[in-house]
Structure 1
Amino acid sequence: MKQKHIAIDGDSASGKTTIGRILAERLNFTFIDSGLFYRAATYIILKNGIEKEKDKWVKLIAANKILLKDGSIYINEGNIEEEILHSSDVDNLVSPVSTVPEIRNFITLTLQEHANNKNVVMTGRDIGTVVLKGAFLKIYLTANVEIRAGRRFKELIEKGIKVSFEDVLENLKKRDTIDSSREKSPLAVANDAFLINTTELSEEENIEKIFLFIKGKEYAL
């Protein structure tokens, strides 16, 4: 039987990861957050102390293997705690790293390998347009930038990270600009994607909408 892929793209802090994780759990699909792979690549650069030597990034990343096993990220068989991948140092560098075309190509191939022969829910910014072009269901999540900033601010405060709402809002606006204007795989809505504005919807309401889209497809899960 053909494996089924669900691609969920969207703006930063639009709810992709939370909604994708819940959806995968209810469908008994593998959940893949593509953002963790870019964060892992960024961590590799930081660990090797070459964050200011951009010309060395591609060769270094290509020399490492990034894997997802049992929901955790591994680099060359070594488990990397998700808390490390969400550190402020990684946060500050992940956008520049993700704009490098060769690194995007490397991560894209890695993600496609992970999705091969599996039922998968994958979240990201170019899943439906690049990574899983043939996904049988594509979702694009968006929300008002102030609402997204509020979600991210709450998330960071709960993790004990001191930050101002204004800084979070400004960083999100910058990330939106970078994502939509980068040369390689810019953030865009796939032509065959269903668009959901999550601004005034609860997590459960978003999930219900996606299940309606699933039921509307020609073949059932």
Structure 2
Amino acid sequence: MEILGDRKFVEVPGTATHELPPLLVRMSPRVRSLERVLGMANDLIEQEDMIPLPAMPVEHDSERRRMDLAVNLVDQYLAFVQHWQWGHSILEWIRQCETTFDTRLELRNLLRADLWPHAGRSSFVVLLEDKLIPTAGVEIEKAVGMRLTFRQPPPLKCFSDQFLFYLNSSVAHTAYQTWAHMIPSPVSSLPPERFQFQVVNMSLD
């Protein structure tokens, strides 16, 4: 086992660099109709009374504020969808990596929780972070947490404004940390220099 600072790394037998499956991810948020999402945002604004009534009603100003808020809600929702898509792809990639490890003699024991030191599923998330893969602003742990929380991304109308603006990060963080600690501690990292893989953008645009 190699120790670097407060990080512990599993020892991979040999000196070869191992090719892992490609990470296939839809990088652009996929929604069926932006116009429909915007309509849901407007409905949410009205239902949640998000724009207080002014003492002296000014129709133009009220409509502008409503539109700005609706666009902001849509942006928050699209960011949620983008994180969910990344999380979905990462969990599938981890499953494929586990299969790869299981088929290679020199890697097979690295994920065994009854051996020490050992890696775990969260080690693959850390590997993505160590590799500094381009994510266009998506936080990898948050993305995994979103996918763990939602089997499918709900439509915007299912969310409160509080979730979209304030709560989604803490919910995703809690989900990720709970999932990451399901493997007996301590969980060691995978040495990034011993693994390589491609990140493939599956978006059509």
TM-score (norm 2): 0.29
Q: Rg: which structure is higher?
A: 2
Q: TM-score, normalised by structure 1?
A: 0.27
Which gives a bigger RCO, structure 1 or 2 (Cα 8 Å, sep 6+)?
2
- Whose strand proportion is higher, 1 or 2? 1
